[in-house]
């Protein structure tokens, strides 16, 4: 699988990385429902077998459980993938979540992630959300200290605006940004992606299939029957009138993909990878079969005509 330079780091990453949000399970505020741990480990193993060389996780996914599963999956691997994780979302003994960018909190989170992941250093450590915004500078200063001490190799951020990036850059360079990006969420094309390209900040986008909406596997019945612990049941993209329009878009993606032996999900991911500022896309997989169904996006390229078809369809969708 081809690789791309990740911003100003020394890492060459595959265009697709394994995302481990969903494998955290359903027992937390943003869970995706019940998850079999064996399936999760098999999904990671299959992703690496197919050439994917990075895994994106976060301490908060499953409240530590996702990181533990990543550690189990990569233990003993001859060619271990790079591991990226995140901080700033914390939880208490009652499993209630909150935000913290205080220096001591970030350090505790880092130490917890190192232990769960069973590594000496985290390849890329990211601030998950810029909240509370008043503590951005304090949080980023601590991230820089963690890098200086060798506990993390590179530092980046997620869900930051251009203004927030400008605020922290004088403290220490930002290696990477992780924003949401899909054909249904293209707003970052306006200012964020051009800024990152200009500043040589690596961009790894999340939710390129909009949390499974564009995977080709979503149906009206499935959306109506999400389990109580699946956060998507309250997302407007899985409710009318957006749901019907989104499913029609998926039919177009299936038609385009069929001409190349690709799935709708692979078309959706390839659409994000077409942008020159995007280094890689985070793609979740809850089992090996799901990974096999999307990994082809790493090599697939949409034609200008196909991109035009997609963009014209989206322009006519309800807002």
> What does the pLDDT look like over 206-230, one tens digit per residue?
999 987 889 877 887 778 778 877 7
| pLDDT at 35 (0 to 100) | 86
Residue 22 pLDDT class (50, 70, 90 cuts): confident
| pLDDT at 298 (0 to 100) | 95
Instruction: Check residues 218 and 261 and name the one with the higher pLDDT.
Output: 261
Statement: 14-315 belongs to CATH 3.40.50.2030 = no
Residues 35-47, mean pLDDT to the nearest whole number: 95
> What does the pLDDT look like over 305-317, one tens digit per residue?
999 999 999 998 8
| pLDDT at 182 (0 to 100) | 95
> What does the pLDDT look like over 171-180, one tens digit per residue?
999 999 999 9
What pTM was estimated for this model as a whole? 0.92
CA distances from 195 to 7, 166, 190, 230 (A): 12, 10, 9, 34
Residues 92-98, mean pLDDT to the nearest whole number: 92
| pLDDT at 312 (0 to 100) | 95
In whole angstroms, what is the distance from residue 110 CA to residue 164 CA? 22
Domain edges within the chain: 14-315
DSSP codes of every residue in the chain: ---EE-TTSS-EE-SEEEE-SGGG-SSSTT-BS---HHHHHHHHHHHHHTT--EEE--TTTTTTHHHHHHHHHHTT-SSPPEEEEEESEEE-TT--EEE---HHHHHHHHHHHHHHHT-SSBSEEEE-S--SGGGHHHHHHHHHHHHHTTSBS-EEEES--HHHHHHHTTTS---EEE-B-BTTB-GGGTTHHHHHHHHT-EEEEB-TTTTTTTSS---HHHHHT--TTBGGGG-GGGSTTHHHHHHHHHHHHHHHHHTTT--HHHHHHHHHHTSTT--EEEEE-SSHHHHHTTGGGGT----HHHHHHHHHHHHTS--
Average pLDDT, the chain: 94
| pLDDT at 61 (0 to 100) | 93
Residues 155-173, mean pLDDT to the nearest whole number: 98
Of 41, 2, 69, nearest in space to 280 by CA = 2
> Which of 61, 125, 181, 206 is flagged as catalytic?
61
| pLDDT at 228 (0 to 100) | 78
> What does the pLDDT look like over 279-291, one tens digit per residue?
999 998 999 999 9
Q: Which of 70-74, 91-95, 220-224 is predicted with the least confidence, judged by mean pLDDT?
A: 220-224
Instruction: Check residues 151 and 223 and name the one with the higher pLDDT.
Output: 151
In whole angstroms, what is the distance from residue 198 CA to residue 173 CA? 13
Indicate if 195 belongs to the active site. no
> What does the pLDDT look like over 104-132, one tens digit per residue?
999 999 999 999 999 999 999 999 999 99
């Amino acid at each position: 699988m081809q690789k791309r330079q990740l911003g100003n780091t020394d890492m060459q990453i595959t265009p697709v990385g394994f995302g481990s949000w969903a494998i955290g399970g359903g027992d937390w505020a943003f869970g995706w429902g019940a998850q079999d741990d064996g399936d999760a480990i098999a999904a990671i193993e299959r992703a690496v077998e197919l050439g994917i060389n990075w895994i994106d996780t976060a301490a908060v996914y499953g409240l530590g459980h996702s990181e533990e599963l990543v550690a189990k999956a990569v233990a003993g691997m001859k060619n271990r993938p790079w591991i990226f994780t995140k901080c700033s979302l914390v939880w208490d003994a009652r499993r209630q979540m909150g935000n913290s960018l205080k220096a001591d909190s970030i350090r505790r989170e880092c130490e917890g992630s190192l232990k769960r992941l069973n590594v000496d250093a985290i390849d890329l450590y990211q601030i998950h959300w810029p909240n509370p915004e008043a503590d951005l500078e304090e949080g980023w200063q601590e991230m820089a200290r963690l890098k200086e001490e060798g506990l993390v190799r590179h530092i980046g951020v997620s869900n930051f605006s251009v203004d927030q990036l400008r605020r922290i850059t004088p403290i220490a360079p930002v290696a990477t940004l992780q924003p949401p990006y899909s054909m249904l969420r293209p707003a970052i094309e306006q200012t964020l992606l051009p800024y990152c390209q200009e500043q040589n900040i690596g961009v790894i986008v999340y939710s390129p299939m909009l949390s499974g909406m564009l995977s080709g596997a979503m149906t009206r019945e499935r959306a109506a029957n999400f389990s109580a612990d699946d956060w998507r049941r309250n997302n407007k993209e899985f409710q009318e009138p957006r749901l019907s329009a989104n499913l029609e878009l998926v039919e177009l993606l299936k038609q385009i993909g069929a001409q190349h032996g690709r799935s709708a999900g692979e078309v959706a991911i390839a659409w994000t990878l077409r942008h020159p500022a995007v280094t890689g896309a985070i793609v979740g997989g809850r089992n090996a079969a799901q990974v096999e169904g999307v990994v082809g996006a790493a090599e697939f390229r949409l034609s200008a005509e196909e991109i035009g078809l997609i963009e014209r369809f989206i322009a006519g969708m309800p807002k």
